[in-house]
Structure 1
Amino acid sequence: MPTLGALVRRSELCLRFVDGEDALRYGERPVEAVAEGAWAMDTAIAARNDSLRNVLLILPVADHAGSGEAQKAGKLIRWPDLEGVAGVILAGSAGCDGVPEELVVAARRYGVPLLTVPDDVPQAWARIFPVIRQEQQRELRQHADQLKAMQRLAMEPDGLRRLLRWLARQISGYAVLVDSTGTPLYSFPEAPVELLAQAGEDIQRVVTKRTRSAAVYLKSQVAHILSIGGEEPSAILVVAREAPFPSPLRSLVADAASLLWLRWRVEELGRHGRQVDLAEGHSREAALHLLMLGNIHGARRVTEALGSRLPDFTRVYIVECPAGLRDDYAGMCSDVTGGRAWIVRCPVYARHLIVLAPADSEEADAPLDQALRTLAASRPGCYVGAGQIVALRDTAAGYEQAFHALAVARGIPARCATFSSREDITALLGPGGRRWAMKALRPLLVYRPERRQDPDSEELRATLASWLAFYNGATKQLKIHRNTLSARLRHIERLLGCDLSDLRTQSELQLALRLLDQSPRHTMSEPDEVTLDVLLDTPETLHWAQAHLSSLRKGEPRLLETLRTWLSSNARLDMTASVLGLSVPATRKRLVRIEGVLARSLLNAPSARYDMVLAFRILDRRAMPPKQEIA
């Protein structure tokens, strides 16, 4: 709203202060309206002080011409009732000299500025009223623009900082947001350490709710401190500038405080929500880890604590999505599955979501399966691999199935594939397979650490299984440092007396771990000890190996040769490329083609490379001449 000083400076109004010092004392007094002086003469109205607050009264000076009339006017004006008025204009006065002294003294006594204007009352009112109205409309438009600007800034991603920066620039000073402990949260330009220290006592008064706001006059700054928001937790806004805050700036700060609190609460709730989501994500990941290790009871306890229940049978899906959009796709998967599926962000692959869907039967699972297929078809860059329906205890196998299916999905237009099942070799080795596995891993299974803080047998076994599945990605699954992983692997090598860099050794150890995960079956017909080569030398295993490589053996010979060379080179692309006389990218392209033919993942872990090694091992032994086999 306009001020008294601003009106006096408008030359067309011809307003003058009777006392020149009033320009300094009352120049910043706001003026909301102008009224004829009859209001001041009416005792009933004048008694209502609020009705005259910030009102500029116009009195005819003719009423005060002459000493007697002046004394009469001084008695008629109830000066105490004029507390809060913007000022009194004496209309029809040619100058300040004609103003009765009694009026000047009375006005000074009650803090009411006196002004003169040469016009009569109607003319003066007609001049002043449009100016006040015009200024008020201008300020309303400016205020509306400022509110729109603040609302727009508050809606931006970094709204809190942007709004503080904007406020600091508007007041030409500092804007600081502190929390309920008095600690600065955000500041612009930078946290004024000295100023906050000087105003520390007043900030604590506001923080401790002893007052809602405080105005502090410091050495070189004027600071306003106010509590924002009516709910806990609250925050404190501190604004400071070199000059006092005029009324428009105080209103601006009050408006900004409301938006700052709302934006701060939104960010606090968002931060709390992210913490809750992070904790839930860790819990889901822990449940998945327990499932992969076969600890069904532990996984159920974790999921039940989160208010969910794991199904007895499940189908594992892996959804691969564009980088940085995994949270969005997690929400989409939750929507399309109707909240029935257990969705976990893969700890190893940043683009993967693991979906454990309840699947009591193929028919019951069809709608959910179709929903995920539709999601993949409608979203470029999205691929879905689906495993077979498995018992919950076989989640690890279901995950590997889904991973192999995902490798196929990347190469087909539908971008979604289901695992084509083949018989698991562990089911063909009989009870002797478990006995061989127990013997092969015995040093690891019976290991007892010398120090309590060292990993025990179970931890080392879990480390070996994770590394064989994900290689260096095991650090993400196990949540350990890469140096810790390296140290554990060296320790396992010493215990088992093997070289873990050898792919043949890896395939044997992975087979042994898979066999141990099977339920023991005891028969009296099997010998006490048996070698792996004897276990693999059966018609059933030969049929298994032929089935695994049949698609390659019927196709291009060079693909079979490439796979054999890659496996014999310890799955190293550079060595394979050198042997084949190809570039590394060309070798990779061939292996990607082989993945499509086999419908299995090879390059990325978990990989089917171990089964491929065993398949070649079985076929190569059958192809050996008898004396070479004896040798």
Structure 2
Amino acid sequence: MLDELLRQLRLFAFQGADLTPQRLVDWLRRQTGAHIAVVDERGRVEASTAGLTPGTIAALRLVLAQVADGRVRAVATRAGDLQVQCEALGRRVPRAVLVVAGASPLTREASALASHAGVVLDVVRRLRHADDLAGRYQWMAERHRLAIFMALMAADVTMARRMTAGSVPPLLEADAVRVHLLRCPPQDRVRLADTYQDELGYHGRGLMVRCPVYDDHLICLVPEDEAQEHGDLSALVSALVRDNPGYELGISVPHPLAATAEAYDQARHALAVARQLPGRVATYQGHASLARVLPRRPALAWAGATLRPIGSAPRLTHDVARLALAFPRSGVARLLGISRNTVTSHLRQVEQALGLDLHRAHDRAELALALAVGDVPPPVGEVTPVPSLDGLLTTEEAVGWARAFLKPLHDDRAVVETLRAWVEADTDAQRTARVLGISRATVRARLRTAERLLGLNLLTPGPGTHDLVHAFRIVDRAP
């Protein structure tokens, strides 16, 4: 019988089957003809065959307690018409108990087999417990990395450092950071994040975070000095793209930690371009943000006046509004841990307060610009009169920005025509196709061409679309 136990273990290993306590209990039942149960450290039945009823286990309560708390190693007793053998599993108190019961006492050979099987059961249970602990650790480490990333996205570097409980990762000591955004199959990003995780839950001097919105995105934060030297994480993700034809990589330019959100947006733009390049890797080559080139005092005066109606709104409302301009509403719900209905409720409050319809591309772009301008440190000095948005967008700085932004499109009239129609259709490709009398596939193909020419991401919500809306609005009103 012992040889049969060893043969069975080899068979499980060869087949790659999951060796569970229940499978071992069922096998032991077939070998001995007895009824088998494993009772865990808290007195709960973990695995059993049908012959051991809850009433039988309850009748053994006192005996099980004696074995579990270490007073005895094994006990032979009776429960009704059954001969019962209870044996401790493992040494650490409290202990699980193997219960073997039958109409007659076990033979010596069957008793020895049960004891040997008990040793295997103990090992299997400890391995499964270790796997559970490892799984929980991986889950907690991933949540911890995501929390750090979200704090950086909110420009709260101090909060990100506090989250590390004194063990500050090298990333948070860096002067500047690049975001490497890797597109890969969803199942691969779990494996990659776990494989290259160090003992502290980070990834060397960098950080890998599974995007909670897009299932095929793995966000990699790399300190700028490591990126320049093509260090460990930077080299790793580049090699992954080289070795896996289905992978694509977008890389931002360096940013201070507090500007991680801007770096992430750039990486998204670069990723949209990377999919169209032979090497499937692109570094952001875009333009300056419109919010950064507008005259500061008038821009801040306009943004302050625009956002004043939601100035007293809860922080969550502001977070929802900001994220909804960059991600689908379902993604905002996942990022903030709230329901989609709650997201919609907060956005409705913003729309009512500001007089906007956030389903419209022009209104989304206006709110995005106000929020982006509001992130620029205000100048010290006198109060500036509040200009209109049209007045702000007809300044020399805005006109120069818009013309430079649209310049790569000058030689492709079909793409420009499609982009204009797409903006007026509130970025609905199907409506755009109907207006232009072309297929939806053609609309998307032209949008991809525009992504390549502009170096921006247009097919998912975000700042690329907002910039395009403003650029057309500016040049249409320019002298």
Could you tell me the TM-score, scaled by structure 1's length?
0.70
Of 603, 606, 609, 2:459 maps to 603
Of 144, 149, 166, 2:8 maps to 149
- Give 1:242 deviation, angstroms: 3.9
Task: Please identify the structure whose Cα radius of gyration is greater.
Answer: 1
| Aligned AA (1:320) | R
Query: Which residue matches 1:415?
Result: 280
After superposition, the C-alpha distances for 1:71-113 in whole angstroms (9 at most, x for unaligned) are xxxxxxxxxxxxxxxxxxxxxxxxxxxxxxxxxxxxxxxxxxx
Instruction: Confirm or deny: 8 A CA contact 2:204 2:233 kept in the other structure.
Output: no
Query: Which residue matches 2:190?
Result: 327
Q: SS of 2:145's equivalent?
A: helix
In 1: Cα distance, 2:176 partner to 2:464 partner: 24
Alignment of 1:516-527 (within 5 A): 516-522=374-380, 527=384
Alpha carbons of structure 1 residues 188 and 376: separation in structure 2 relative to 1, 3 Å: farther
Give 5+ residue unaligned stretches, structure 1: 1-141, 448-455, 624-631
In 1: Cα distance, 2:287 partner to 2:256 partner: 17
| Aligned AA (1:533) | D
Alpha carbons of structure 1 residues 224 and 579: separation in structure 2 relative to 1, 3 Å: farther
Query: Which residue matches 1:271?
Result: 132
Query: Which residue matches 1:436?
Result: 302
How many aligned positions are there? 470
After superposition, the C-alpha distances for 1:278-307 in whole angstroms (9 at most, x for unaligned) are 222222212211111111111111135455
| Aligned AA (1:319) | L
Q: What is the Cα-based RMSD across aligned positions, in Å?
A: 2.4
After superposition, the C-alpha distances for 1:219-273 in whole angstroms (9 at most, x for unaligned) are 3433322111123564222233444321222122111111111111111112112
Q: SS of 2:114's equivalent?
A: helix
| Aligned AA (1:325) | D
After superposition, the C-alpha distances for 1:299-330 in whole angstroms (9 at most, x for unaligned) are 11113545524123111111222122222111
Query: Which residue matches 2:228?
Result: 363
In 2: Cα distance, 1:242 partner to 1:559 partner: 84
Alignment of 1:69-88 (within 5 A): none
Instruction: Confirm or deny: 8 A CA contact 1:206 1:225 kept in the other structure.
Output: yes
Instruction: Confirm or deny: 8 A CA contact 2:458 2:465 kept in the other structure.
Output: yes
Alpha carbons of structure 1 residues 273 and 498: separation in structure 2 relative to 1, 3 Å: same
Of 255, 258, 281, 1:390 maps to 255
Alpha carbons of structure 1 residues 562 and 234: separation in structure 2 relative to 1, 3 Å: farther
In 2: Cα distance, 1:502 partner to 1:298 partner: 35
Q: SS of 2:259's equivalent?
A: helix
Alpha carbons of structure 1 residues 171 and 326: separation in structure 2 relative to 1, 3 Å: farther
Instruction: Confirm or deny: 8 A CA contact 1:180 1:234 kept in the other structure.
Output: yes
In 2: Cα distance, 1:334 partner to 1:578 partner: 49
Q: SS of 1:316's equivalent?
A: strand
Q: SS of 2:38's equivalent?
A: strand
In 1: Cα distance, 2:453 partner to 2:341 partner: 37
| Structure showing greater relative contact order (alpha-carbon pairs closer than 8 Å, 6 or more residues apart) | 2
Q: SS of 1:600's equivalent?
A: coil
Give 5+ residue unaligned stretches, structure 2: none
Alpha carbons of structure 1 residues 510 and 552: separation in structure 2 relative to 1, 3 Å: same
Alpha carbons of structure 1 residues 438 and 381: separation in structure 2 relative to 1, 3 Å: same
- Give 1:598 deviation, angstroms: 2.3
In 1: Cα distance, 2:369 partner to 2:52 partner: 62
Alpha carbons of structure 1 residues 338 and 271: separation in structure 2 relative to 1, 3 Å: closer
Q: SS of 2:105's equivalent?
A: coil
Q: State the percentage of identical aligned residues.
A: 32
- Give 1:188 deviation, angstroms: 4.0
- Give 1:467 deviation, angstroms: 1.1
Alpha carbons of structure 1 residues 198 and 349: separation in structure 2 relative to 1, 3 Å: same
Query: Which residue matches 2:366?
Result: 508
Query: Which residue matches 2:122?
Result: 261
After superposition, the C-alpha distances for 1:355-402 in whole angstroms (9 at most, x for unaligned) are 111114863356653332111111232222111110001000000111
Query: Which residue matches 1:348?
Result: 213
| Aligned AA (2:322) | A
In 1: Cα distance, 2:231 partner to 2:312 partner: 46
In 1: Cα distance, 2:390 partner to 2:196 partner: 45
In 1: Cα distance, 2:134 partner to 2:28 partner: 28
After superposition, the C-alpha distances for 1:18-60 in whole angstroms (9 at most, x for unaligned) are xxxxxxxxxxxxxxxxxxxxxxxxxxxxxxxxxxxxxxxxxxx
Instruction: Confirm or deny: 8 A CA contact 1:220 1:242 kept in the other structure.
Output: yes
Q: SS of 2:252's equivalent?
A: strand
Say whether residues 1:463 and 2:463 are aligned partners.
Answer: no
Instruction: Confirm or deny: 8 A CA contact 1:150 1:163 kept in the other structure.
Output: no
Query: Which residue matches 2:431?
Result: 575
Query: Which residue matches 2:59?
Result: 198
Instruction: Confirm or deny: 8 A CA contact 2:152 2:160 kept in the other structure.
Output: yes
Instruction: Confirm or deny: 8 A CA contact 1:321 1:329 kept in the other structure.
Output: no
Alignment of 1:37-436 (within 5 A): 143-153=2-12, 156=16, 158-160=18-20, 161-189=22-50, 192-231=53-92, 234-309=95-170, 310=172, 311-332=174-195, 334=197, 339-360=204-225, 363-365=228-230, 368-429=233-294, 430-436=296-302
After superposition, the C-alpha distances for 1:449-499 in whole angstroms (9 at most, x for unaligned) are xxxxxxx2x221111001111121100111111111111111222222221
| Aligned AA (2:439) | S
Instruction: Confirm or deny: 8 A CA contact 1:403 1:601 kept in the other structure.
Output: yes
- Give 1:152 deviation, angstroms: 4.3
